[in-house]
């Protein structure tokens, strides 16, 4: 097959030369394997979405583009905050990444982690599918990557091993694992907790030994990681921030593909993202609470805040919101607030 393809290419080049036609630009050779980085494995909606994208790409390109998923951010030794830099440098070819993990390099992505900005899924959609999402993609495109689709890790709920959390006072003194973002440190410090940054790989052993009391993550992560087995017996639904995911390709890798394959990869990303979002939201709504029931059945006390109780946390973090809104960009935050209000 390769011999026939080479012969055909050679014949075409000779014909072009003989007719005086311009020679086609040399296409960059495709890699035998493209490396896709993600934080979580296939048991989680996030990792499932990455694998789904890889499978769809293989199908839509008839195997011309083969993608291997590397979960656990193993391509950067598990350091989630280095993933975007490695993606820009070409150490990583493709990624399904978190807006939180990439926010140290792209400050505007901190928008999604402003405490209590987004009250529901319609608010997330208003941002990612509206003016804000478009602006974010433009900003990312200036940083050596090609963003293709929005996915979702979900609203981050808070759990701990000590007691139910209903008020900011309940968080005081608790040792809480948070992601490597200054905004998360500021938010939990404002609530009186003792936040500790650590990778997800280190978080579960820390909970098991009692080195930390609690954590915050989407319900899909709580369930798939079986956090009830590492002492997380108290779970509060407060929806203080959500974590959109972004399906991206390194710009040099993208430019090495034919327009036909670029289109196929983009369509695969958009399909995988839609399916991943549906998976991330399954079982956690009033009409479909199967996942919540499953978590409670494992001996976890699930606390749902009233709007008045949620307002108490919002007031306690209002100073953090104001400070970080300035860092994110006043105009972008204003757009977000307007679009959420219109939802």
Which pLDDT tens digit goes with each residue over 36-54? 999 999 999 999 999 999 9
CA distances from residue 70 to 28, 40, 42, 49 in whole angstroms, order as listed: 24, 9, 10, 13
According to the model, what pLDDT value does residue 28 have?
74
The predicted-structure confidence for 82-93, as pLDDT tens digits, reads as follows 999 999 999 999
Query: Tokens standing for 211?
Result: 């080195």
Cα–Cα distance between 105 and 84 in angstroms, integer?
Answer: 7
Q: Give backbone dihedrals phi and psi of 70, rounded to 5 degrees, phi first.
A: -115, 95
Cα torsion for 230, 234, 238, 244, to the nearest 10°? Answer: 10
Cα–Cα distance between 83 and 87 in angstroms, integer?
Answer: 6
* Residue 342 pLDDT greater than 60, yes or no: yes
Which of 168, 124, 166, 118 has the alpha carbon at shortest distance from 317?
A: 168
* Residue 295 pLDDT greater than 50, yes or no: yes
Cα–Cα distance between 185 and 187 in angstroms, integer?
Answer: 6
Cα–Cα distance between 111 and 117 in angstroms, integer?
Answer: 8
Q: What is the mean pLDDT of the chain?
A: 92
8 Å CB contact between 303 and 166:
yes
Name which residue leads in pLDDT, 64 or 1.
Answer: 64
Q: What is the DSSP pairing of strand 214-217 with strand 242-250?
A: unpaired
Q: List alpha helices for 105-258, DSSP H.
A: 121-128, 131-141, 182-190, 200-209, 219-224, 251-255
Query: Tokens standing for 256?
Result: 């090495």
* Residue 287 pLDDT greater than 90, yes or no: no
* Residue 163 pLDDT greater than 90, yes or no: yes
According to the model, what pLDDT value does residue 286 have?
80
Q: 188-196: long-range contacts at Cβ-Cβ below 8 A with a sequence spacing of 24 or more?
A: 190/316, 190/317, 190/319, 190/320, 191/313, 191/316, 191/317, 192/168
The predicted-structure confidence for 195-233, as pLDDT tens digits, reads as follows 999 988 899 999 999 999 999 999 999 999 999 999 999
The predicted-structure confidence for 1-22, as pLDDT tens digits, reads as follows 434 443 444 444 343 333 344 4
Give pTM, 2 decimals. 0.89
* Residue 24 pLDDT greater than 90, yes or no: no
Domains parsed from the chain with CATH numbers? 30-153+243-281 (3.40.190.170), 157-241+286-342 (3.40.190.170)
| pLDDT (average), residues 167-186 | 96
Which of 217, 283, 246, 230 has the alpha carbon at shortest distance from 132?
A: 246
According to the model, what pLDDT value does residue 71 have?
97
8 Å CB contact between 284 and 217:
no
According to the model, what pLDDT value does residue 5 have?
40
């Amino acid at each position: 097959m390769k011999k026939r393809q080479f012969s055909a290419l050679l014949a075409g080049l000779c014909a072009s030369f003989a007719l005086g036609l311009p020679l086609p630009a040399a296409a960059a050779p495709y890699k035998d394997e493209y490396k896709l980085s993600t934080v979580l494995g296939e048991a989680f909606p996030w990792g499932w979405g990455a694998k789904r994208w890889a499978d769809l790409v293989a199908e839509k390109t008839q195997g011309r583009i083969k993608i291997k998923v590397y979960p656990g951010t193993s391509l950067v030794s598990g350091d989630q905050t280095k993933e975007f830099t490695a993606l820009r440098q070409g150490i990583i070819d493709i990624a399904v990444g978190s807006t939180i993990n990439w926010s140290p390099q792209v400050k505007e992505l901190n928008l999604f982690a402003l405490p209590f900005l987004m009250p529901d899924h319609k608010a997330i959609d208003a941002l990612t599918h509206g003016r804000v999402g478009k602006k974010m993609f433009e900003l990312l495109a200036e940083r050596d990557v090609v963003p293709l689709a929005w996915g979702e890790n979900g609203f981050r709920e808070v759990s701990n091993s000590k007691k139910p959390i209903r008020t900011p006072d309940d968080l005081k003194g608790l040792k809480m694992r948070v992601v490597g973002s200054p905004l998360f440190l500021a938010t939990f410090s404002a609530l009186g907790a003792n936040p500790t940054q650590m990778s997800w790989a280190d978080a579960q052993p820390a909970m098991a030994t009692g080195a930390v009391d609690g954590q915050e993550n989407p319900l899909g992560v709580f369930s798939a990681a079986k956090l009830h087995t590492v002492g997380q017996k108290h779970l509060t639904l407060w929806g203080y921030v959500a974590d959109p995911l972004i399906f991206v390709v390194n710009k040099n890798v993208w430019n090495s593909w034919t327009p036909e394959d670029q289109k196929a990869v983009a369509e695969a990303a958009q399909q995988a993202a839609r399916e991943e979002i549906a998976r991330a939201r399954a079982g956690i709504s009033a009409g479909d609470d199967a996942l919540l029931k499953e978590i409670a059945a494992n001996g976890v006390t699930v606390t749902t805040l009233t709007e008045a109780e949620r307002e108490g946390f919002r007031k306690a973090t209002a100073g953090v919101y104001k400070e970080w809104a300035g860092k994110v960009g006043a105009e972008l935050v204003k757009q977000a607030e307007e679009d959420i209000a219109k939802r």
